[in-house]
Structure 1
Amino acid sequence: MSVVILDGSTVRGFVADEDAFARSVDARFAALDANGDGVLSRAELRRALESFRLLDGAGFGSAEPAPLPAEVAALYDSVFEQFDADHSGAVDRAEFRAEMRRIMLAVADGLGSQPLQVAVDDEGGSFLLEAAEHEAAEIAAKIEAQRAAAAAAEAK
């Protein structure tokens, strides 16, 4: 587990970098594509969603029961339909990229402009962790460019 400090602009900057975002999303897509056929089936996407353990009830010590299996299935089906834009029954790489872009921009809107500390899982990767690392690399590159410019100015 890592803690990063980010805001909406951190996430937007990551999504705006087409190459970096595509590499990240494509790597996640490849990891989810268990049978390597180039598309995500309903079952493959469901396994990924289940790994988030979002539907295990209201949490430790809560009296709230876990959702009924039919409710869980309906939720997963609904999420799959959001990803499967062409309703082909499978999610291709372009559909996955488009939906992840939409999700990440919604996260950016939700974060707003106030920096927040966020705990992220660095075991399986995290788009938020990658966004924070992307921003840190951009800042480091700017500082290095400024140092190089200052050194060149001193050398004259």
Structure 2
Amino acid sequence: MNFDAATFANGSGVGAVIRNAARDVMATLSARGAAVVDNEEAEALACWKAMKFAIDVGFLELIVEGDNVMVMSVVSSTSPNWSRLGVIYDDIGCLAAGLRYVAFSCIRRSASSVAHSLARYANVLDEEVVWFEDSPPPAHDALYFDSSFLNE
């Protein structure tokens, strides 16, 4: 599962794409979020929302990929986080503990174009939108680019 966040003047957005081992799109999410203080907060909340989404739709084995080095480092760590975002990181840890398998990976920003497109699309939404086993229209171009990247 790849996730990303976007920030807007009046809020934030979350995008997530879940693929199977054959790299087929299984589920995608675009959701609007609250205003955030900084990028780390946006990405941490996006990670939490994406993991909750994946669990809610029935995925219990995940490789979670995000492009924010700080967030991915913290969620990969077993040490407690005492920062202002510690509660969010704790919640992510609780979600992860309920999975049969989870691994966290920091990826290049260019590898999260689908999730980023979905996060930006959230700016025009009033409620979250989910697509199952289908290419979400807001990310068609990014999916084409992403499939080229994945085949390298």
User: In which range does the TM-score fall when normalised by the shorter chain?
Assistant: under 0.3
TM-score (norm 1): 0.26
More strand by share: 2
Q: Larger relative contact order (C-alpha < 8 A, sep ≥ 6)?
A: 1
More helix by share: 1
Larger Rg over CA atoms:
1
TM-score (norm 2): 0.27
